[in-house]
Amino acid sequence: MSRIIKKSLILICIYFSLLNPGISFGYENSVYIWQRSWDEHVGESISDLKTELNKFIILCGDLRYENGKISINTVDIDWNYFSKGDAEIILAIRINTGTKALLKSDSVYQVIDGLEIILDKAILSTQEQRIKITEVQLDYDCPTSKLADYGKFLALYKERFPSLKISITALPTWLNSKEFKKVVKNISYYVLQLHSFEIPKTMDKAKQIFLKDSASLYVKRAVRLKHPFSISLPTYGYEVVFDKNGGFLGLRGEVKRNILGKDIQYKAVMTDPAKILSFLDDISLSKLDKFLGICWFRMPLETDEFNWHTETFKAVLNGYVPHAKFNVKIEKPQPGLYEIYLVNNGNQNILRPVEFKISWAKGATPLYDILGQFQGKTIKFGDGIEISGFPPKVGNEVFVAWFKYKEEIQRELPMHVSEVLLHETNN
């Protein structure tokens, strides 16, 4: 069941800002650039975020082992965005879980050779901009039961690259394994991943990908291990797809919607910035020995539908809870004609519908048309219409409707715009 939250403000809806001066965490922040295809949107985000942080962890390729063969994919990184040398760069390589079959045999050297090819290409491509690479991060979701093999592999990998700083991503389940201490012996630090998504059996089981209570426990365990570590926190989400009975069908992150149908149901599961800030506030009060900082996954893009907006991310980096703020703008291009625009003046995108009412003087009913994905229905009592639809992204506006009176009305505004309503669904 959904509920409607009403805010008693004319022309403005949804203002969730906390009037605080921001929270100062004092930790080092870095962000993952996980895009495999670089375009102008990647460049825009990098330029925008350089005002807030100067450390980027960039995916440069991945290694896969499937059907008895190793395959290598590399990313063509546009280093021009870092040509001034004003940022610290870490190269990340993704290793798929199928590779576990090679790590316990002599074939492990094939994996090391493959990683060297990926790394060499990335480093070679930086030479024109004179960007110095001193660290590589391996992203491998090793099964906890196979950590002994992973530890031996890392020792061999370190022998191949003795002058290179090596870090790895780590799953929370590894913290309970006695083999994990052997794994971290040959690395500078690890990045504890505090985000995951469990496939829900039904729609009401679709939960957040960040669970604050669990994350706090994992951090405490990491501190007890007394090895340098960072934490990875999410900025992203998913759209989960269900059938008409609420059964799970699939999920969507960065791809176009590929499951369609009359009875299909969709639910957006996003990371809540307020919960992330609450977690960071809690751990800032504790003494976290060996704690290095936060690696945010992943860098927001204008085209990334299920990720925070860049302005949302910047607010969180500065310790502020972002807010959604919408303004209904009315323009009068000619006498008797009114155009209605919905404007997002806040710093947070909303993936739920909003609604507001347009009413007019009794007996002065205009002609009108509701545009795009917006819908309108006549107000039951009174003269007017209720308009509903999905709001625009941060900094954008959308043309919602036009109204035209049959005869020129000299009053400045013969219509009234109500407060806006936000439909909020319980998770």
Dist. CA 398–CA 285, nearest whole Å:
43
**51 and 158, same domain (yes or no):** yes
Dist. CA 410–CA 408, nearest whole Å:
6
The pLDDT of residue 285: 76
**298 and 338, same domain (yes or no):** no
For residue 425, what are its two tokens?
Answer: 């669904």
The pLDDT of residue 158: 96
Beta bridge partners of 160: none
Listed range (67-71, 92-96, 170-174, 252-256) with the worst mean pLDDT: 252-256
CATH of the domain at 279: 3.20.20.80
Dist. CA 57–CA 299, nearest whole Å:
10
**What band does 14 get if pLDDT is binned at 50, 70 and 90?**
very low
Mean pLDDT score of the chain: 87
CATH of the domain at 398: 2.60.40
**177 and 225, same domain (yes or no):** yes
Q: pLDDT for 321-331, tens place per residue?
A: 999 899 999 99
Whether 299 contacts 58, CB under 8 Å: no
**What band does 427 get if pLDDT is binned at 50, 70 and 90?**
very low
Does residue 354 carry a pLDDT above 50?
A: yes
Whether 377 contacts 389, CB under 8 Å: no
**What band does 15 get if pLDDT is binned at 50, 70 and 90?**
very low
Which amino acid is present at 335? P
CA nearest to 79, candidates 54, 52, 58? 58
Does residue 247 carry a pLDDT above 90?
A: no
Total tally of structural domains belonging to the chain: 2
Dist. CA 7–CA 175, nearest whole Å:
46
The pLDDT of residue 407: 64
Going 220 to 221 to 226 to 232, the CA torsion angle's sign is negative
Look up tokens 């290179």; give the residue: 164
pTM for the model stands at: 0.88
Domain range for 404 is: 326-425
CA nearest to 203, candidates 259, 239, 242? 242
Between 105 and 363, the more confident residue is: 105
